[in-house]
Every structure is written in structure tokens, then in C-alpha cells.
């Protein structure tokens, strides 16, 4: 059984309950990272084959390595919902990263005023109400 608190929503909750470390095995470009392994461990294991490869490619290499070693019993399709990019349809991998939040109201008020008093014009004009609704969080 695998538990990956840094890359799975359910596993994150299990990791919280059991104080497990959140080891990231992806970099910020969704390529395989060493997850904090030493250079010697990377060189000697499968990580050397998959390091800096895209996650999709790494999965295929791991499956082939397990088959070649006689360690893979079977693979099965499993229905599950995956987040996908609306543009390119690739899987969006869960990834822990620092989060930051901006108090937007002080920034939105002058932007709204600039449109309302005509200093800024939305083109095409029909989008002005959408803009104002978005800025007011309607």
C-alpha cells in the first residue's frame, strides 16, 4: 500500500492523522524529483532511470522495470476522477506548494472606480458588467 501525503488528497489526510512527512517526488514542472534521496540511492535504484522525467513517462518506466524483474502481478484499469487541464487535457497532478492570498478589496475598489468614471474602458463594452461583477465578487 502506498501513502503519498504530498501528492494525493486522501493520503494527505492520512498523513496529517499520523504525522507523516510530506515528501515531494515531483518538481514544479511535474517531473520526477529525488524526494530527498541521497545521490547514491538515486544512482543505484530506479530513481536514476526516472529522475527529471515527466510523471507519465516515469510511470511507464516503473511498470516496465517491475515486469522485467518479475515483480508485477498485473495491471488493471481503474475508474477514477482525475483533474485535467481544460486546454490540453493532461492530468493535473496534486502538488504541495506554498500558498499565498491577497486581500483584493483594496485593489478592486480603485479598479472599479476607474471603469465607472471612464478613465478605463472595457472593450468590447458588453464585457463591462462581467468585469464589474468579477471585481465585486458578485
Domains of the chain, by residue range, sit at 1-99, 105-136
* Number of neighbours of residue 131 by Cβ within 10 angstroms: 14
| Residue 134 confidence (pLDDT) above 70 | yes
Rounded to 10°, the helix 128-136/105-116 angle is 160
- Which residues touch 89 (CB under 8 Å, ≥6 apart)? none
Q: Report the topology of domain 1-99.
A: Isoleucyl-tRNA Synthetase; domain 2 (3.90.740)
Query: DSSP state, 114?
Result: H
Which one is predicted more confidently, 97 or 72? 72
pLDDT digits (tens, 9 = 90+) for 78-96: 887 888 889 998 888 888 8
pLDDT digits (tens, 9 = 90+) for 10-42: 889 999 999 998 888 888 888 888 776 666 656
What is the distance between the alpha carbons of residues 110 and 31, in angstroms, rounded to a whole number? 41
Which one is predicted more confidently, 121 or 79? 121
What is the distance between the alpha carbons of residues 36 and 24, in angstroms, rounded to a whole number? 8
What is the distance between the alpha carbons of residues 132 and 138, in angstroms, rounded to a whole number? 8
Amino acid at each position: 500500500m502506498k501513502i503519498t501525503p504530498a501528492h494525493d488528497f486522501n493520503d494527505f489526510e492520512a498523513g496529517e492523522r499520523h504525522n507523516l512527512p510530506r515528501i515531494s517526488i515531483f518538481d514544479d514542472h511535474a517531473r520526477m524529483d529525488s524526494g530527498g534521496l541521497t545521490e547514491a540511492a538515486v544512482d543505484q535504484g530506479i530513481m536514476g532511470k526516472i529522475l527529471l522525467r515527466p510523471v507519465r513517462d516515469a510511470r511507464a518506466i516503473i511498470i516496465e522495470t517491475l515486469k522485467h524483474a518479475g515483480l508485477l502481478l498485473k495491471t488493471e484499469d481503474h475508474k477514477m476522477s482525475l483533474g485535467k487541464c481544460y486546454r490540453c487535457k493532461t492530468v493535473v497532478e496534486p502538488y504541495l506548494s506554498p500558498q499565498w492570498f491577497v486581500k483584493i478589496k483594496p485593489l478592486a475598489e480603485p479598479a472599479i472606480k476607474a471603469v465607472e468614471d471612464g478613465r478605463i474602458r472595457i472593450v468590447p463594452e458588453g464585457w463591462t458588467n462581467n468585469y464589474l461583477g468579477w471585481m465585486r465578487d458578485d
